């Protein structure tokens, strides 16, 4: 796409090969030491933060490895740059793998527990993997169970890591095909380590299939770019297929099996490229795009595959109905939700501005850099060659419908809007490599090339720290970690096994039915206990008055409270919804009997109002 003015030869390496080898050895040694230290300090009880729960020495070791990786990715090329990128990618993978390394029993509340239940159903023969709408992650967890004898809970955590790794590999590979410039590849690798698609609003680092699918998207984008950029020199497959067109189909179908919503976005991306090609073929007789193979067939085939897969599924139809209803509902939308969250943050001493800086400053900075680059590319003020401009044009045009979908989601179902943002940031992560490399090249005209690289290292390194410290939920973003220790599982399992039939379970701010999914499966919801089938949350106002039975309609019920609940309601939310004094009062109420208790779980039998 473009080349730096400095000739990339072995003589222009920033330091001699021997010194680099010693530096890389120190980086990998630091990485190994960090992993060993983390492994030697397993989590024995609930941790509200992966970050504070992990020993400080681990973070020092990882920081050293990442510092070496960032520097090598920016100033080296060839084999040395590849080693630096490998060091950084492995370190980030280790950070994402900390729940596995440190022996977490499971990680993820909400949807993750339902995915655990589906995986349990597959393992126990209650259902086939093909019966799920998106079975890839569950199937991976099952494979680890059957082939490795790994517990289902831990197998799913391994599946999380397996689906994450392609993101770190294929972002720089895509930029290499897109650009051919070593600096752009190195920058793209560093930006990928920030894991910008995870926003902890609707995309999460955990067993969350929609989020897991985001890490497979770069494989599809790589396949598309490879199909456009490379000309297949080997004999074509039957039906006129080339190896790269087959790669487009296989990667897209894999994405569909991880989660179909991201497959929709992939189809939109491919269709946007196809649309641009169609217009160019209609209007121009001589254009670089005319030399590239078209994506019309791929668009049709992938759209048909998704349509056939989706329209037969009731959950998909319900989601579409909810989305359309949300757009026309006056009280539904992103603005109302933001106002509500802003008010709650103010009441506990936070602010939306503070939260935005913590969670989105790095993403905003990268988005701004890419936006400026695309603007300059449109007006022809970049060093892109003809083919490079055509490829960037495809990405630019594709962002228009993807952004339009974000706005529609924002009006209808704000949670889906932030999932859409996750996909957009996969695309922006790829473009950031080319954009920032151009910026470094421009800066080097005013300062030396080493000076420009040093500035880039400081800025990107700072964004990397900010990005990695918000990959997992933690109190720093007013969201406690979703660690589920074994004691919590045991408490819930014992309570559900020994609880009275038809007596509902209630929680403070968290409906216990998700734990029932994870423990007993949920095939057709036939395996759910009668109690959790009627479960729900307590009324905060009544609970805070000390009226524990009235908080659940004056009915007999079990109140289940985990360390996660206590941390969220009393430490993070600071009693905004449920007051800690009311919770402590349970121990002295004559109608509340604590029937199960361990380090991470308590269950109380609450007598209804009729029994008082």
Q: Model-level pTM greater than 0.75?
A: yes
Q: Two tokens at 381?
A: 């003020």
Instruction: Check residue 11 and give its pLDDT.
Output: 40
With CA atoms as reference, report the closest residue to 206 among 164, 242, 152: 164
478-506 residue pLDDT tens: 999 999 999 999 999 999 888 887 888 99
Q: DSSP secondary structure string, 274-312?
A: HHHHHHHHHH-SS-GGGGSPP-HHHHHHHHHHHHHHHTT
Bridge partner residues of 598 (DSSP): 601
Instruction: Check residue 337 and give its pLDDT.
Output: 52
Q: Tell me if residue 483 falls in helix, strand or coil.
A: strand
Query: According to DSSP H, which parts of 413-448 are helical?
Result: 414-443
Given CA atoms 357, 360, 364, 366 in this order, what sign does their dihedral have? Answer: positive
Instruction: Check residue 84 and give its pLDDT.
Output: 97
With contact defined as beta carbons under 8 Å apart, do 517 and 113 qualify? yes
Rounded average pLDDT per 10-residue block, the chain, 612 residues = 41 68 96 98 96 97 98 93 97 98 95 95 91 93 95 97 98 93 96 97 95 98 91 59 88 96 96 96 88 92 91 68 58 52 68 88 96 91 84 95 93 86 98 95 89 94 96 94 96 90 85 89 64 76 92 90 94 92 93 94 87 44
With contact defined as beta carbons under 8 Å apart, do 519 and 496 qualify? yes
Round to whole Å and give the CA distance between 363 and 474: 18
With contact defined as beta carbons under 8 Å apart, do 608 and 557 qualify? yes
Round to whole Å and give the CA distance between 104 and 157: 9
Instruction: Check residue 6 and give its pLDDT.
Output: 36
Instruction: Check residue 525 and give its pLDDT.
Output: 53
Q: At residue 593, what are phi and psi to the nearest 5 degrees? A: -115, 115
Query: Helix-strand-coil percent breakdown of the chain, rounded to 5?
Result: 70, 5, 25
Computed on alpha carbons and rounded to an integer, the radius of gyration of the chain in Å comes to 26
Instruction: Check residue 234 and give its pLDDT.
Output: 52
For residues 394, 396, 399, 403, the Cα torsion angle rounded to the nearest 10 degrees is: -150
With contact defined as beta carbons under 8 Å apart, do 605 and 558 qualify? yes
CA end-to-end span of the chain, whole Å? Answer: 78
Instruction: Check residue 311 and give its pLDDT.
Output: 77
User: Which DSSP state fits 6?
Assistant: S
Instruction: Check residue 12 and give its pLDDT.
Output: 45
24-71 residue pLDDT tens: 999 999 999 999 999 999 999 999 999 999 999 999 999 999 999 999
Q: How many degrees, rounded to 5, is the angle at CA 458 between CA 452 and CA 459?
A: 90
Instruction: Check residue 414 and give its pLDDT.
Output: 82
For residue 15, count other CB atoms closer than 10 A to its CB. 12
Instruction: Check residue 321 and give its pLDDT.
Output: 63
Instruction: Check residue 238 and give its pLDDT.
Output: 67
């Amino acid at each position: 796409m473009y080349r730096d003015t400095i000739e990339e030869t072995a003589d222009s390496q920033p330091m001699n090969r021997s010194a680099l080898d010693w530096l890389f050895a120190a980086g990998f040694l630091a990485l190994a030491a960090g992993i060993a230290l983390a492994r030697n300090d397993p989590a024995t009880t609930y941790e509200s933060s992966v970050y504070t729960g992990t020993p400080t020495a681990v973070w020092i070791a990882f920081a050293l490895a990442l510092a070496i990786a960032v520097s090598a990715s920016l100033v080296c090329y060839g084999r040395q740059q590849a080693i630096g990128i490998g060091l950084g990618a492995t370190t980030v993978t280790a950070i994402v793998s900390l729940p596995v390394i440190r022996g977490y029993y499971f990680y993820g509340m909400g949807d993750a527990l339902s995915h655990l239940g589906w995986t349990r159903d597959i393992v126990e023969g209650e259902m086939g993997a093909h019966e799920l709408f998106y079975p890839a992650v569950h199937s991976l967890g099952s494979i680890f169970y059957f082939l490795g004898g790994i517990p289902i809970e831990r197998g799913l955590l391994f599946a999380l890591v397996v689906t994450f790794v392609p993101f770190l590999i294929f972002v720089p590979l895509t930029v290499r095909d897109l650009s051919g410039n070593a600096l752009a590849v190195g920058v793209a690798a560093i930006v990928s380590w920030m894991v910008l698609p995870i926003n902890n609003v609707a995309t999460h680092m955990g067993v969350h299939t929609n989020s897991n699918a985001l890490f497979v998207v770069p494989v599809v984008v790589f396949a598309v770019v490879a199909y456009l950029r490379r000309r297949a020199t080997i004999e074509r497959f039957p039906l006129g297929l080339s190896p790269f067109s087959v790669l487009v189909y296989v990667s897209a179908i894999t994405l569909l099996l991880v989660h179909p919503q991201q497959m929709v976005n992939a189809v939109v991306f491919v269709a946007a490229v196809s649309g641009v090609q169609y217009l160019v073929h209609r209007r121009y007789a001589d254009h670089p795009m005319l030399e590239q193979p078209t994506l019309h067939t791929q668009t049709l085939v992938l759209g048909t595959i998704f349509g056939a897969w989706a329209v037969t599924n009731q959950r998909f139809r319900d989601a579409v109905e909810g989305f359309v209803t949300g757009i026309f509902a006056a009280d539904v939308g992103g603005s109302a939700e933001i106002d509500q969250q802003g008010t709650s943050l103010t009441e506990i001493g936070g602010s939306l501005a503070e939260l935005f800086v913590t969670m989105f400053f790095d993403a905003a900075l990268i988005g701004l850099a890419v936006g400026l680059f695309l603007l300059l590319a449109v007006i022809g003020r970049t060093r892109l060659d003809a083919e490079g401009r055509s490829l960037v044009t495809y990405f630019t045009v594709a962002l228009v419908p993807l952004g339009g979908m974000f706005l529609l989601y924002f009006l209808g179902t704000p949670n889906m809007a932030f999932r859409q943002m996750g996909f957009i940031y996969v695309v922006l992560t790829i473009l950031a490599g080319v954009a920032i490399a151009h910026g470094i090249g421009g800066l080097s005209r005013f300062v030396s090339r080493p000076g420009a690289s040093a500035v880039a290292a400081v800025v990107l390194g700072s964004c990397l720290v900010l990005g990695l410290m918000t990959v997992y939920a933690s109190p720093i973003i007013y969201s406690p970690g979703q660690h589920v220790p074994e004691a919590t599982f045991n408490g819930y399992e014992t309570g559900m096994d020994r609880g009275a039939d038809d007596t509902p379970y209630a929680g403070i701010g968290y409906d216990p039915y998700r734990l029932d999914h994870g423990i007993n499966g949920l095939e057709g919801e036939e395996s759910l206990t009668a109690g959790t089938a009627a479960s729900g949350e307590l009324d905060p106002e009544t609970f805070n008055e000390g009226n524990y039975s009235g908080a659940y309609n004056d009915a007999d019920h079990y109140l289940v409270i985990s360390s996660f609940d206590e941390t969220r309601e009393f430490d993070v939310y600071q009693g905004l919804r449920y007051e800690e004094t009311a919770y402590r009062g349970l121990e002295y109420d004559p109608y509340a009997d604590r029937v199960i208790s361990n380090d991470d779980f308590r269950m109380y039998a609450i007598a209804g109002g009729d029994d008082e």
